[in-house]
Amino acid sequence: MTPKSFLGWLAGMLWLPFYMVYDLVSGSLRVSRDILTPGEGITPAIVEVPLRCHNNLEISLMSNLVSLSPGVITVATRREPPTVWVHAMYVEDRPSILEYVRVIEDHVLRATRPSGGPPPRPEEPNRTEGGRHR
């Protein structure tokens, strides 16, 4: 392991808790605002997200961190091919949830892979929110 990759891994390990605290606080504020101002509109959806995580540690950590965020929960995971299904309360559109999960995945992969950062993101599945092919 080169010093540069070690420093990148160490920075990823140290940044992950700070990012998750930020995500927890911002999600809590959004859910609290919705509770205090009823009628704002919840737009729930379940979205399938292909992952770059490969082993059980990465998939489990990823799934648990997604579920830690208020208003979002992991419904199911699959190892081959690595996939997670996420239920979110506030879905603007499918790409916004994909990006949300992938940002968390980027942080998880930086923290769990000392030999390098996250690999390129997988291609989008050709599906709608309801899971039917276009």
Task: Indicate the domain borders of the chain.
Answer: 3-112
Tokens 């291609």: give the residue: 123
Name the 3-class secondary structure at 10.
Answer: helix
Please count the CA atoms within 13 angstroms of the CA of 70 that sit on its side-chain side. 15
Lowest mean pLDDT among 22-26, 38-42, 98-102: 38-42
Sorting pLDDT into bands at 50, 70 and 90, what band is 46?
very high
Task: Please return the burial class of 45, using the count of CB atoms within 10 Å of its CB with bins 0-12, 13-18 and 19+.
Answer: middle
Q: Where are the beta strands (DSSP E) in the chain?
A: 45-50, 72-78, 83-88
pLDDT reading at 79 higher than 60? yes
**pLDDT at site 63:** 92
Lowest mean pLDDT among 2-6, 60-64, 103-107: 2-6
Mean pLDDT across the stretch 41-49? 88
Q: How many angstroms separate the CA atoms of 81 and 100, rounded? A: 20
What is the pTM for the complete model shown? 0.75
pLDDT reading at 132 higher than 80? no
Would residue 131 be called left, alpha or beta, if left means φ above 0 and alpha means ψ between -120 and 50 degrees?
Answer: left
Sorting pLDDT into bands at 50, 70 and 90, what band is 128?
very low
**pLDDT at site 129:** 45
Q: How many angstroms separate the CA atoms of 45 and 52, rounded? A: 22
Pair 85, 34: CB distance under 8 Å: no
Sorting pLDDT into bands at 50, 70 and 90, what band is 1?
low
